[in-house]
Every structure is written in structure tokens, then in C-alpha cells.
Chains A and B, each alone.
Chain A
Amino acid sequence: MNHIMLVRTVALGAMASVALGAYAIDTEPPPLPPGSARVQVEPGQSKEENERMQRAHEPHAPSQHTKDYTHDDTAGTDQIVAPPLPPGSTRVRVEPGQSPEETRRILRAHRAPKRNHLKSKPSSPIGSPS
């Protein structure tokens, strides 16, 4: 054994004894539970959470990449958002033109009274009753 090796051995021995003294006296540990040898511990997120995280950031359909990026799919549909319809709107039936009353009124107005019709009726070939 040369001098350098001797010094190194002594130094290592001294370090080892210091190190041993620095640690707690070996208390008998409790036994590990059954199945411990088969347990694989992974720090961080669970496998499912990692997969979900990865999946969340992937594409979901080829169409996501095959669009015309210049064609606005809202073109021609831009509108100011309309105010909501009032209550009962769904039951409303709209008819163009005059109200039914007015129509009836006009019809009525232009309809000759039955009496007039009678008056205008051609005379009986046998002549006026009067």
C-alpha cells in the first residue's frame, strides 16, 4: 500500500465513522404492508389526468384544419342582436292588410243591402207587384 492509498484509506475511514455517528441509531422500522414491492409510485398527476390534459389540447376532427381561413363563416349574417320578443309573441298571427273588422266593414259597405238587391232585381216578367 503506497502512502497516497494509505492516507486515502484513513480519510475514508474517518469520514465513514463521522457519517455513521451523524445518523440516528437504527430504530427497527415497522414492516412494509403487503404488496409494497409491486407498488409503482409516480409523482405528479395521475395517468388519466395526464391523458386528459394531453387529449384536451389535440385536434378533434380533420375539419378543424381544412377550413378556408379567409372565409368568414358568418359572412352575410352579421346582424345587430335583436331585442327579445314580448310575451305571447308565439301566439300572434299576423295578417297583412286591413283588420278583419275593417275588411268586413268594407265588404259590408260595398255589399248592397238585401233590400236594395231586391229593388234592383229585374222586374218580374209579370210586372211589379205594386
Chain B
Amino acid sequence: LNNSLLRLFAIALVLSTTLGTNRAQAQTPPHVLILYDAPPSTEFEKLGFGYAIMLKNLIAHFDTDAELMPVHEYVAGKMNDYDATFYLGAYYDNPIPSALLADMAVSDKTVVWFKYNLWKIAWDAQYGFAQKFGFNLVQLRGLNAEPTSQNPAPGFFDTVSYKGMPFVKYYAYDAARNEVHADPDIGVVSIVDPAKASALVNITNPTTAESVPYVLRSGKFWYVADLPFSYIGPRDRYLVLADLLHDVLGVEHATNHRAMVRLEDVGAMVSVQSMKTLSDYLWTRKIPYSIAVIPKYVDGLGVYNGGVPETVPLEQASNLKRSLDYAVARGGEIVMHGYTHQYGDIVNQTSGVSGDDYEFWNMTTNSPVAEDSTEWALGRYNAGLADLENNGYGTPVAWETPHYQGSALSSRATTQVFNATYQRVVYYTADTPDFNAAVSKDFTLGQVFPYVIKKDYYGQRVLPENLGNIEYDISDIDPSSHFTYTWQDLQLNAKYALTVRDGFASFFFHPFWLEPDLGTPGFQDFKSLVDGITNLGYVWTSPSALVN
């Protein structure tokens, strides 16, 4: 009996320990290392770093703060400290430390290899790569032929099929400069042992009707034939990776599709009628929504005031306050969209007027503004926060950078005063970037997110806006307004976002589209879009539900 009791006790102990360990593992975010090419003294030294920042941001969806490291700094055994190691092969034939290749060849940790340089491990006999992993690299493929003015689009592997949707890679040919704006190269692999390797996603070359693996998995070794961080958008193959990261990292998020709508650029000149109409509609439909508020109106050069500079503080902006009072009483949540949404008394892109111009980025020089500093940004944030507080609107639920673009310092500063940002984000490969350097030039990285990013490269919690906004061609009224982006375009974007298991359908809308003088079917299209997103199965939510 004693022996039996002891045995039962031992089994119970083992079971409880195992279950406890599994629970702990489920709650512990994976440790991730991102290695990137940084070939010294080359023009593209920082390209891989840019990709690494973007991947780090996506991985932050999984509550993980990934470590970034140039691949040439890798030391033997380093990857053993992590659950997953990503290598971004951004630079053709970049040297790779043999210590990394040796570690990858025998590691039992997750390894994800992107695009170039797989030949350094796959074609070196000492690693026995094909035998171990069941696949091999065959060749690189890119454009089917040299593009010419007669044949500007010779075609390439550009269509990634995933969950029934075709994700088409970007392509543009500049005939005048004979430049291709695209990222057509992929690594073509073949499976030699289907018991070990399988293609999870394929990519097709419509011109040649060929199809090859796009994402391939062999146990814990993954190969992605592309680097899906260039020319991204709401229907780009970037979303495929965004979804597959759940499987790569072993963090299974339940299928959960949520939608958000934000009324945009709501400042002193807002139409109360438009805001009331939209607020009534959303309130009646029980749809949560937010309002991107510009607290202070400034026309720094008096462009719309006979050459006399004009300022309208929130306490005097009676229409704005009427609109906000009405909307807040009907469920609207306030997002702070800049302090003045313009910069000083200069034309910083368009006019120097609130709502038109950049506030935290000098667009005329494509650099941080002269005053750029954490203190300067905080001063503007706190001034706007005080305006909202003093006029009875409390603390905004989130921050949205004017034109979605601020300096690195201003983005980092948001974390000191806001719980979240609600936007797309522009990142840089240096805080004071030099985009024109012949060697080691910097890059701007505009990134759209399909889901919540818990802590991005600048430390921000990012709530997604990933569909865009309805636009009409009103060039007869305003010659520069010639973009058209229909509610059907946005609904199609939402359909693509469904391929991400917890992807959002988040868009914004300008209330001015309801104003009669523009002659657009703004309200009808707004309602059609709300219905269209709802019909796709999305459940509407509010920014406040995502902040904590």
C-alpha cells in the first residue's frame, strides 16, 4: 500500500509540475532574436535594419520585445538564448558568420529565414541541409525579363495565394529613368522529402503560370521566399506573414475580427450638422466610434483670413464644442489628433493651417523640425491635453499624429502622456535620418498594422487603422483633390484583413464629406461601408476597449 501511495503521489507531482510548466509556457511571451544584414560601407547598410524594425513591430503583437542584431555580430550559441531566431536576408550574398550557420543546422529552436543567402547553408555540404530539412534552394527568380518601354511589365512571381485571397506584390516601372519600383526577387526552393518539408503558402508567376513555395516549413525551420516589408499596403502579402507569425511563434490567438471607425480632422471649422448626422447614425446603430480632435485652430499665415494670422482656442471654438458635446453624449470617444495639426507660421506642405500641415515633421526638408526634442513634443502634447481637460472633455483615449508622421523623438514622447496611439506609424532607421547619404543612407518606414501592437519600436501601443478612408474626386472644386477611394475599396481591404485571424477592419471618415457644397454621396457611402464591414462578420469596438 505504501508503495502504491508513493507511486500515486509521484504521478500526481509529475502531472501537476507538467501542467504548471505548460501553463507558464503559455503565459510567457517567446524570446525572439532578429538578425539582419548590415553590409558596412554600402548604400544599403540600413535596409535590413529597416526590415528588422518592421518585423519587431509585428512581433510586438505577441507581447514580445524582440532583440535586433546585425548578423555579423552573431556569436556562437547566441540563438540558444531565444525561442525563435529570424534572419532577414536583405542583401544578396552578404557574409554570414559560420557560427550562425552551424547553430542553425543543429538547433532545436524555431528558425525563420527570409529571402537571400540561403545557399550559404543549403549548398554547403558540411551542414547536410537538404537531408536534414527535406528541401533545397534551387535558384533565385525575379523579373521574367529586362523591362523595356515596349515591355514595361515582363512579369514575376507576384501573386501570393492565402486563405482564398490573391495578394499581389507591388510593381511600377519608371520608363523615363528605366527603374523598377518593386521587390521581385524570391528564393525558389524544392521539396526533396515531403515527410520533412511542406509548402504552406505558394506564390505564382501569372506570366509563366509557374507556382513555387512562398512559405515552407520543415519542423521548426521556416523559409519565407520573400522579404514582405517593401511596398506594403492593405492588400499586400505582408498580411500573410502577419497572420503566420501566430504559427511561427506558437502563440495561438483566437479568431476575432473587430472593426473601428474614427471621425477625422474634427477641429474648429467642423460642421455641426455633419457631426450630428454621423453621431446620430452611429449611436442609433449602437456602433462605438471615436473623434480625432484638433484642439487648437491656427492659420499661421492668415491664408484664409485675409492675410491676418488667426488662432481659435478650444474655449472659443463653439461649433467644435457643440459637435463634441453632442458626439460624446452619444458614445463618441476623443482621440487627440495633434495640438494644432500645423507647424508655426510656415507652409509645412500645404498652407500652414490646422488640418492641412504636418506638426511634428518638417515636410519641406523631410527632416525633424528645428525644435525637435522630447521636451518640445511633450510641451505640445500637454498643451492639447490641458485644453481638452479644461473644456470638460477629460483625457483622450489615444493619440494620433498629424498626417501619421512625426519625428522619432516625438513618437517616443507619446508614451509619457498617452496610453496608446491610434494610427499607422512612420519609423526611421535613425533619429536624425540622412536619406541621401551615399553610404549607409537612412530609410523611412511607413507601416500599417492589421492588429494591436502592444509596444512598437518607439515604445507605443498602436491601435490599428488599416483600411484607409473614403475619397472623392472633387477636382472641379479643389484641383488637388483627384483621388478616388470608394467604400467598396475599403470593404475589399476589410476582406483581405479577414485572412489575419485577429485582423481588424479599422477606417476613418471625414465629416466634411456630408457638406452639401461638395456634392458627394458621403453619408450614403459611409452607411454602405458600415453595413459592408458588418456583413463581413466584424464586430464593432472602441479604442477604449483596446487600451488596457
Contact = CB atoms under 8 A, between A and B. Distances in A.
B54 A24 contact: no
Interface residues of A, number: 52
B60 interface: no
B269 A64 contact: yes
B402 A39 contact: no
Interface string A9-44: 000000000000011110111111111101111111
Interface string A102-113: 000000000000
A73 interface: yes
Interface string A45-65: 111111111111111111111
Contact of A22 (B97, B123, B184, B483): B97
B350 A35 contact: no
Contact of B272 (A31, A35, A49, A72): A72
B545 to A, nearest CB: 24
A44 to B, nearest CB: 4
B57 to A, nearest CB: 11
A59 B356 contact: yes
Contact of A33 (B142, B297, B477, B508): B142
A5 B236 CA distance: 55
A22 B236 CA distance: 38
Interface in B90-105: 92-93, 95-99, 101
B299 interface: yes
Contacts of B353: 59, 65
B154 A44 contact: no
A61 to B, nearest CB: 5
A45 B447 contact: yes
A128 B214 CA distance: 118
B355 A44 contact: no
Nearest to B277: A74
28 contacts: A27-B119, A28-B123, A29-B119, A32-B185, A35-B143, A38-B146, A39-B142, A42-B443, A43-B51, A44-B443, A44-B444, A45-B231, A45-B424, A46-B236, A47-B231, A49-B233, A50-B446, A52-B468, A52-B471, A57-B355, A57-B402, A58-B355, A59-B478, A61-B474, A61-B481, A64-B355, A66-B304, A67-B269
Interface of B: 47, 50-51, 54, 92-93, 95-99, 101, 117, 119-121, 123-124, 137, 139-147, 154, 156, 170, 172, 178-185, 229-234, 236, 264-265, 268-269, 271-273, 276, 280, 297, 299, 303-304, 312, 316-320, 322, 349-351, 353, 355-356, 402-404, 424, 426-427, 443-448, 468-469, 471, 474, 477-478, 480-481, 483, 485, 508, 510, 512, 515, 517-518
Ordered nearest first, which 9 A-B pairs have the shortest CB separation?
Answer: A33-B142, A45-B446, A35-B143, A46-B231, A44-B445, A65-B304, A44-B446, A49-B233, A43-B50
